[in-house]
Amino acid sequence: MKKAALLLLPNLIAEHKHHAPYLPASVDKAVLSLDGLIAENPHAGRRYLKRFMELRDADSVPIAICNKHSGKEDIDFLLEPVVEGQRWGFVSDGGLPCMADPGAQLVFRARQLGVAVQAFSGPSSITLSLMLSGFSAQSFCFHGYLPKEQQARQSHIRQLEEHAQQTTQIFIEAPHRNAHLLEDLLETLSPKTWLCVTWDLTLASQGVVTQPVEVWRKTPLPSIQKKPATFLISAAT
Amino acid sequence: MKKAALLLLPNLIAEHKHHAPYLPASVDKAVLSLDGLIAENPHAGRRYLKRFMELRDADSVPIAICNKHSGKEDIDFLLEPVVEGQRWGFVSDGGLPCMADPGAQLVFRARQLGVAVQAFSGPSSITLSLMLSGFSAQSFCFHGYLPKEQQARQSHIRQLEEHAQQTTQIFIEAPHRNAHLLEDLLETLSPKTWLCVTWDLTLASQGVVTQPVEVWRKTPLPSIQKKPATFLISAAT
């Protein structure tokens, strides 16, 4: 008998034809066991299922929606079939559920309802960029998105720089604002602070630049606009 | 022609006979392309290779050592073959290289030497426990190990609790001290603060408990001594 559970499924962090090089085999088995899939939107959910099964089978799996607009009553509704004994997956648009993505509300409520939760590993731009940066990951803080308003953002950057004396600081930006954030960072940070920028992780176009701000200021900037990117700062001494 | 690179390879986070359910297929291909492997100790390195290749082949791959005792001159020595055009991997004893594990020094120096670095995804107790906790991972701080001395540790816990009002806090302990840390947490934290403890992730014995400190104090404690565990605190309101 299949065990009722909410399965937290990894997604790719870039467009790839085949998923096998990036997702472990346990995910294949898990997806084939699902009674339904919760996704951030119906098209992405259907596309995800088609990676693992024939078109006809993928079309027969019910899809429900959970995203940043979902409220508490939506969460209870989404978990109802699991409470009643079914296996449902949750997948975000890219990377790991919950990690700078929706999902935590689902898991939090599932725990209160005594529903089993299983998590699978997969690519995360947070861990990949920490590894690739060369900065210490003995401790680190992930901040998600910085404030949009420039003055608030610059003062936030100065705070992060202070914390970076001890602990690697990592944050992200909406891809269409990447160039602005990079400009602000180079304007605001001290010359000796180390800045790492990664983009297009897991794609052939992937890039990582790790250097002190004073070197960043003297070299041509990489073209990161509209590309998924991460930003890391460290004292790196 | 094979491209020279330092490959950051994921390891399992628990003893499993087969690695395929936990590591993506790109890792298999990467390991078979290696000219040598850097590991935290020779036995663990050899054991890792044997997961991917026949005994005779695994025995023919040279193994070098990098761990927390490695100094700057060791790092340069380790990277020499890569600088000269070879492909070497680095694997830590469990989980992802660099993440609360050695590796960052190797990557940092590799970047200075202009050596290509590739990172592969795999299981990490940090991301798995963040997902499983039900706490927000829109932002979080990973602190590694807390101070060993009890008074310093308790004052550190109080600081983390303050930060947890905004941001999920996650930390680890040497497995033989897990029970002590849990005691200290239950003694020091406020009743309404949420504490999540995970142990034995990816094993059949895996456990996750997420509840407010006041509930922790009233219920029998899970047996986590000598098991790999993570600890997370959150305001979770």
Instruction: For residues A119-134, give the mean pLDDT.
Output: 98
At residue B2, the pLDDT reads 77
User: B156 touching A, CB under 8 A?
Assistant: no
Report chain A residues whose CB lies below 8 A from the CB of B97.
Answer: 131
**Does A1 have pLDDT greater than 70?**
no
Shortest alpha-carbon distance between residue A136 and chain B (Å): 6
**Does A2 have pLDDT greater than 90?**
no
Dihedrals φ, ψ of A37, to 5°? -130, 130
| pLDDT tens per residue, range B73-105 | 999 999 999 999 999 999 999 999 999 999 999
Q: What six digits make up the tokens of A115? A: 């529903």
Q: What six digits make up the tokens of A218? A: 């003297």
**Does A99 have pLDDT greater than 80?**
yes
Using left for φ > 0, alpha for ψ between -120 and 50, and beta otherwise, residue A187 falls in alpha
**Spatial CA neighbour of A19 closest among A6, A28, A7:** A28
Max CA distance (Å), chain A: 63
At residue B237, the pLDDT reads 67
- Spacing of C-alpha A7 from chain mean position: 17
**Does B207 have pLDDT greater than 90?**
yes
Angle at A97 between CA A95 and CA A103, to 5 degrees: 150
Q: Do residue B99 and residue A236 have CB atoms under 8 angstroms apart?
A: no
Strand partners, B212: B194
Report chain B residues whose CB lies below 8 A from the CB of A104.
Answer: 134-138
**Does A136 have pLDDT greater than 80?**
yes
At residue A59, the pLDDT reads 94
Task: Write the residue in B24, B108, B140 that is nearest to A142 by C-beta.
Answer: B140
> What crossing angle do the helices spanning A125-133 and B125-133 adopt, rounded to 10°?
150
At residue A185, the pLDDT reads 98
pLDDT band at B37 (very low <50, low <70, confident <90, very high): very high
**Spatial CA neighbour of B35 closest among B71, B77, B64, B70:** B64
pTM, full prediction = 0.97
Task: Write the residue in A29, A109, A134 that is nearest to B107 by C-beta.
Answer: A134
User: B25 touching A, CB under 8 A?
Assistant: yes
| pLDDT tens per residue, range B155-196 | 999 999 999 999 999 999 999 999 999 999 999 999 999 999
Q: What six digits make up the tokens of B68? A: 């927390």
Strand partners, A169: A141, A233
User: A8 touching B, CB under 8 A?
Assistant: yes
At residue B236, the pLDDT reads 81
Instruction: For residues A216-235, give the mean pLDDT.
Output: 97
Q: Do residue A21 and residue B25 have CB atoms under 8 angstroms apart?
A: yes
| pLDDT tens per residue, range A105-118 | 999 999 999 999 99
| End-to-end CA separation in angstroms for chain B | 55
Instruction: For residues A37-48, give the mean pLDDT.
Output: 97
Report chain A residues whose CB lies below 8 A from the CB of B123.
Answer: 24, 121
**Does A237 have pLDDT greater than 70?**
no
Dihedrals φ, ψ of A94, to 5°? -170, 140
All residues at 6 or more sequence positions from B18 whose CB lies less than 8 Å from its CB, including other chains: none
Helices and strands (H, E) in chain B, number of each type: 9, 10
Q: How far apart are CA B92 and CA A125, in angstroms?
A: 20
User: A134 touching B, CB under 8 A?
Assistant: yes
Length of chain A in residues, anyone? 237
Query: Which candidate in A121, A125, A128, A141 is best for mutational testing of the B interface (most B CBs within 10 A)?
Result: A121
Q: By the 8 A CB rule, do A202 and A13 touch?
A: yes
Shortest alpha-carbon distance between residue A119 and chain B (Å): 6
Rg of chain A over Cα atoms, rounded to whole angstroms, equals: 20
Q: How far apart are CA B99 and CA A135, in angstroms?
A: 10
**Does B23 have pLDDT greater than 70?**
yes
Instruction: For residues B187-214, give the mean pLDDT.
Output: 97
**Does A126 have pLDDT greater than 70?**
yes
Report chain A residues whose CB lies below 8 A from the CB of B138.
Answer: 100, 104, 144
Report chain B residues whose CB lies below 8 A from the CB of A17.
Answer: none
Shortest alpha-carbon distance between residue A123 and chain B (Å): 5
At residue B110, the pLDDT reads 97
pLDDT band at B1 (very low <50, low <70, confident <90, very high): low
At residue B189, the pLDDT reads 98
User: B102 touching A, CB under 8 A?
Assistant: no
CB contacts < 8 A (A, B): 144
Rg of chain B over Cα atoms, rounded to whole angstroms, equals: 20
Portion 34-93 of A in contact with B at CB < 8 A: none
User: B104 touching A, CB under 8 A?
Assistant: yes
Instruction: For residues B49-69, give the mean pLDDT.
Output: 95
The DSSP letter of residue B197 is: E
Q: Are strands A207-212 and A194-199 parallel, antiparallel or unpaired?
A: antiparallel
